[in-house]
Amino acid sequence: MARLEVDGIHTAYGLSKVLFGVSLTVEPGEVVALVGRNGVGKTTTMRSIMGLAPPRQGSVCWMDRDITGMPVHHVARLGIGYVPEDRRIFPELTVWENLDIARRPPIDDENGEGWSEDQVFELFPDLKAIQSRQGGVLSGGQQQMLTIARSLMGNPKLLLLDEPSEGLAPIVVETLRDRINLLKEGGLSIVLAEQNLDFVLFLSDRIHILEKGEIQYTGTPEDLRANTDIQTKYLTL
């Protein structure tokens, strides 16, 4: 049974329909990518899973439990973490305080232990040196690392990453990619919405291409890399 199962969801904002029957699954330890141009529904798919934009039709099941339309804080407590595109750190709080405020005990860890500040500082060494610095003065790359680290402090089993590389310098993107890959190797399930195709091809196990709120293509990174016609049709500007 898939850890996450999204079945035929239709989502709208008021009268504006965005998703039209999107379905996907995520297995334990798998990275599933959502790619496509701006405005095709990647973020809305994330928000629908998280409960921020409840689907009007279809269902979202997490570990055999229907979470469709469940309040966001309940979804988070069930082990789903969300890293939004705009990061939303607390600018007046220090790096350490941003991490501490997000701390939650693990749901089903037999040892009762989960992510700690020391562990996230090991994953993101740059944050350790600036742990007393306020979030609002951090660079874009530092803020992105902090946002992911803050989500990890909630001990998620599934991480929703929305455009993590956007606006970052190439060297920072490479570092971030490698850190996310470590999370994957550690068994964390990830849904990745991203426009940087190289980033996606490196990290993902399966890729869904969205266009006008529908999935138009599904394949492995190897399949997509070899299919230049699909890349041209759905991914070029």
Q: CB-hemisphere CA count at 13 Å for 129?
A: 5
How many Cβ atoms sit within 10 Å of the Cβ of residue 166? 15
Listed by start position, the domains of the chain span 1-79+157-167+188-237, 85-156
Residue 231 region by backbone torsions, left for phi larger than 0, else alpha for psi between -120 and 50, else beta: alpha
Q: What percent of the chain has pLDDT over 90?
A: 90
**How high is the pLDDT of residue 114?**
83
Whole-angstrom distance, CA of residue 86 vs CA of residue 102: 17
Overall CATH class of domain 1-79+157-167+188-237 = alpha beta
Reduced 3-state DSSP string for the chain: CCCEEEEEEEEEECCEEEEEEEEEEECCCCEEEEECCCCCCHHHHHHHHHCCCCCCEEEEEECCEECCCCCHHHHHHCCEEEECCCCCCCCCCEHHHHHHHCCCCCCCCCCCCCCCHHHHHHHCHHHHCCCCCEHHHCCHHHHHHHHHHHHHCCCCCEEEEECCCCCCCHHHHHHHHHHHHHHHHCCCEEEEECCCHHHHHHHCCEEEEEECCEEEEEECHHHHHHCHHHHHHHCCC
**How high is the pLDDT of residue 22?**
98
46 touches 208 (CB < 8 A): no
Name the β-bridge partners of 26: 4
Encode pLDDT of 14-54 as tens digits: 999 999 999 999 999 999 999 999 999 999 999 999 999 99
**How high is the pLDDT of residue 108?**
64
**How high is the pLDDT of residue 110?**
47
Task: Give the predicted TM-score (pTM) of the model.
Answer: 0.93
Q: How long, in residues, is the chain?
A: 237
Burial of 29 (0-12, 13-18, 19+ CB in 10 A): middle
User: Which residues, given as ranges, of the chain have pLDDT below 50?
Assistant: 110
Residue from 149, 162, 175, 210 nearest 20 by CA = 210
